[in-house]
Amino acid sequence: MSVLNDEPVAAADAAVVETDAAVIETDILIIGAGPSGLYGAYCAGFRGLRVAVMDVLPQRGGQISAMYPEKPIFDIAGFASVRGRDLVDSLVAQAETHGTRYLLGHRAVALDYDGDGLPVVHSDRGTAVRAGAVVITGGVGTFTPRPLPAGEDFLGRGQVYFVPDPTAHAGHDVVVVGGGDSAFDWAALLAPVARSVRLVHRTARFRAHRASVEKVRALGIDLLTDSEVSGLYGAAHLEEVEIRHRTTKDITRLPAQTVVAALGFIADLGPLREWGLTLQARRIAVDTRMATNLPRVFAAGDITDYPGKVRLISVGFGEAATAVNNAATVIDPEAALFPGHSTEKEN
């Protein structure tokens, strides 16, 4: 049962995606619609609590949906391998079994407390969410791609940071820039559909896992090392890429309709920095209950820090369950911490 209004969660709310409602009341507000946040929504719904999920991104799934929806993930319990998109779809379906309200495209910018001591979170779109408790599952916070200096003028006209749909680049000559796992993942993902794929990196040493590098080599993808993209050319859309060797200074022009800039990301907690949270190494400090230093505010997933922290999606699931169930006892001091086993519930 909902603690704030004593009404049961309505199943019809499961598919509702809120946008610009002025004021929303809920039992638990989860900030971040990545894997930890989606599982936390299920945990809250399982207890009969109303739950709303806010995320600055326009889709559910967090970094998985934005960065590697087609990439296989190997560290999820019970799955030898699961594609990122499929994992997100399953988590969304699980969260919606008890009803979840979404506020997508909303950045959480401010936190204050009402006269009853309940947290109120304000979004950049003018929506205020009054909740019994808040659980922050924002991953690494706001992540901004590192720009490709030579390519910003072609952003959206051939230069991209993500490849959510490889078929959008079918038949293209593709240049991937970077030496980390994302660069090699994108290159391998695009190889079957692109006309050609080349990977450009400024040194001969790669940050990517050795297996990823060997996979790309086995696909016959050209690795242009000690080189950098020095220019992009075209009219309405990208047509050519200029590559400069860093030692010889030789210049090469290659046809390209797509450039994937995989140069890493700048993570930032953004407005959360101003909330008064105790931070450790640019992450939110929590205790064993996943509670922060602020009343009724908890956190889970990669955004948290504590001694012995292991940053895996699977760990984030457990932290989300811990955060939500401890939040439930703060909302209702008479509630039991242990929610019961799902097998004990009627279908």
CA distance 334 to 99: 23
CA distance 239 to 296: 54
Cα maximum dimension of the chain: 73
CA distance 309 to 318: 12
The annotation status of 343 as a binding-site residue, yes or no, is yes
Query: Helical H runs in the chain?
Result: 35-46, 62-67, 84-95, 181-190, 210-218, 313-331
Instruction: For residue 344, give both structure tokens.
Output: 């004990």
Do 251 and 167 meet the contact criterion of CB atoms below 8 Å apart?
A: no
The annotation status of 280 as a binding-site residue, yes or no, is no
CA distances from 98 to 11, 47, 48, 119, 269 (A): 6, 9, 8, 23, 30
Stated length of the chain: 347
The annotation status of 55 as a binding-site residue, yes or no, is yes
CA distances from 144 to 82, 157, 258, 262, 265 (A): 26, 19, 20, 11, 5
The annotation status of 257 as a binding-site residue, yes or no, is no
The annotation status of 233 as a binding-site residue, yes or no, is no
DSSP character at residue 97: T
Do 295 and 132 meet the contact criterion of CB atoms below 8 Å apart?
A: no
Three-point CA angle 134, 139, 140, nearest 5°: 120
CA distance 211 to 200: 18
CA distance 331 to 133: 7
Radius of gyration of the chain (CA): 22
Strand pairing of 279-280 and 17-18?
A: unpaired
The annotation status of 143 as a binding-site residue, yes or no, is yes
- Which residue in the block uniquely carries the two structure tokens 């004021």? 23
The annotation status of 302 as a binding-site residue, yes or no, is yes
The annotation status of 36 as a binding-site residue, yes or no, is yes
Going by the annotation, the residues of the binding site are: 36, 55, 63, 68, 108, 143, 302, 343
- Residue ranges at the known binding site for FAD: 36, 55, 63, 68, 108, 143, 302, 343
